[in-house]
């Protein structure tokens, strides 16, 4: 199984990927790249992930890395902390370039983690936890990582999956 994370220009239907990372169950990087967006990164997004426009200025455009990403993901099982979001952003970013998104089997880690943690929301369902809250709740040390960067978030997800018994490679 692979683990994927992205950082983006925002949350809306115009947002696009500016960083992508894919690691394996052992924590080895399979793919990592900054991505130059078609529009400037908004300040509110920069405040979250710290990726500035200057950092992506010389990065490849999505269409330049899309084939590599497709080849890595094609037909694979892929764990993603908030799968609905990252899958949508991959599709949105591919759409900007009229590219076919990769075909893979996305498994959301956030939803089963919410059930694993067991906190009930005011709506009566399991309350979603942020990735960093999940790490804190499970007493997972992430002091060696940079949360809200794709590779680090992949590794945090891997450690949470290990804690939940999904992988045993740590």
Residue matched to tokens 């939940």: 164
What is the spatial distance between Cα 36 and Cα 54, in angstroms, rounded to a whole number? 10
The position carrying tokens 């990582």 is 145
- pTM of the model as a whole: 0.94
Per-domain residue ranges for the chain? 2-163
Convert the pLDDT of each residue in 106-146 to its tens digit.
Answer: 999 999 999 999 999 999 999 999 999 999 999 999 999 99
Residue 5, SS3 per DSSP: strand
Q: What is the pLDDT of residue 166?
A: 87
Q: At which residue do the structure tokens 């740590």 appear?
A: 170
- pLDDT digits over 62-105, tens only? 999 999 999 999 999 999 999 999 999 999 999 999 999 999 99
Q: What is the CATH number of domain 2-163?
A: 3.30.420.10
């Amino acid at each position: 199984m692979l683990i994927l994370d992205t950082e983006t220009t925002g949350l809306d239907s115009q947002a696009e990927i500016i960083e992508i990372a894919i690691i394996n169950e052992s924590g080895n990087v399979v793919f990592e790249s900054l991505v130059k967006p078609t529009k400037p990164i908004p300040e509110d997004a920069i405040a979250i992930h710290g990726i500035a426009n200057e950092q992506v200025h010389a990065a490849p455009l999505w269409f330049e890395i899309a084939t590599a990403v497709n080849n890595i993901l094609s037909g694979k099982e892929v764990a993603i902390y908030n799968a609905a979001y990252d899958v949508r952003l991959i599709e949105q970013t591919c759409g900007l370039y009229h590219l076919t998104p990769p075909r893979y089997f996305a498994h959301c880690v956030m939803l089963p983690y919410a059930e694993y943690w067991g906190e009930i929301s005011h709506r009566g369902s399991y309350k979603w936890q942020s990735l960093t809250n999940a790490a804190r709740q499970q007493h997972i040390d992430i002091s060696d990582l940079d949360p809200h960067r794709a590779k680090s978030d992949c590794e945090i997800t891997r450690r949470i999956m290990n804690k939940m018994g999904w992988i045993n490679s740590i």
